[in-house]
Chain A
């Protein structure tokens, strides 16, 4: 299946070198059916840090399964306030 991946802020360098998606921080990627958010995180080698994950704009836990054609976005908040 093919999905759109968006990585924000410090995660942007982890975007794979694949077909660009609809925005500057996005790429189209191919995944096996039934892939979870956590499996994408591991596959990309994202650092172990707090993050917020969305599928099609809805917050999800990392055990959520991604459907083909959807958009997975991952944002890593940083400290300070």
Chain B
């Protein structure tokens, strides 16, 4: 089987899968792009915010996107990667009910928000109301600690957390594009493996 055939088979296996991403910042924007590049073509993308200049250090947006809704700006970029991608854009702040509604429509839910309260909201919504839905979250990706300390940890049989679990941006640590994108890549890769029926550690 050629490399092209192998890639085609992977894309065919992922083409009908649906992934929901809550938060389109440094994690979510990069997770979405990696999933589309790998072959996931149905995404539900939720973020209420607009692109700010301060986002450009790590998020998949460009100077001309400043002031645009993140959902709209990211949708344009994803369609440039693959015009066949089908996107459901939610440009409002989501609460528990909306998170559960999104979760019911997807095969995997990704927590990709930036504050601890919202992370807990998404993880609690999934763990309490959708116990059979795989959910991949992130916690502990701030600062300049070793890339090797960003790992994927199973909290339950359906909830995984990516990060070193402790590096907290609210303590004054910076957000470096390299480490944030490592965490995003861990999240995206965990999603792909879950969608393909593999068992995450």
A78 and B27 contact, CB distance less than 8 A: no
- The answer to the question of B46 belonging to the interface, with a C-beta cut-off of 8 Å to chain A, is no
Contacting chain A: which of B64-72, B78-86, B125-133?
B125-133
- The answer to the question of B119 belonging to the interface, with a C-beta cut-off of 8 Å to chain A, is yes
Interface string of A24-51 (1 = CB under 8 A from B): 0000000000000000000000000111
Given A9-B140, A9-B165, A60-B128, CB of A77 within 8 Å of CB of B119: yes
| Chain B interface residues toward A at CB < 8 A | 23, 25-28, 112-117, 119-120, 123-124, 126-129, 131, 137-142, 155-159, 161, 163, 165-170, 173, 175, 180
Total number of A residues with any Cβ neighbor in B under 8 Å? 21
Please name the residue on chain A nearest to B142 by beta carbon: A80
A54 and B142 contact, CB distance less than 8 A: no
B155 and A80 contact, CB distance less than 8 A: no
A75 and B161 contact, CB distance less than 8 A: yes
Q: Could you give 13 example pairs across A and B, Cβ below 8 Å?
A: A50-B117, A50-B120, A52-B155, A57-B158, A77-B137, A77-B139, A78-B139, A78-B169, A79-B170, A80-B139, A80-B142, A80-B167, A80-B169
A59 and B123 contact, CB distance less than 8 A: yes
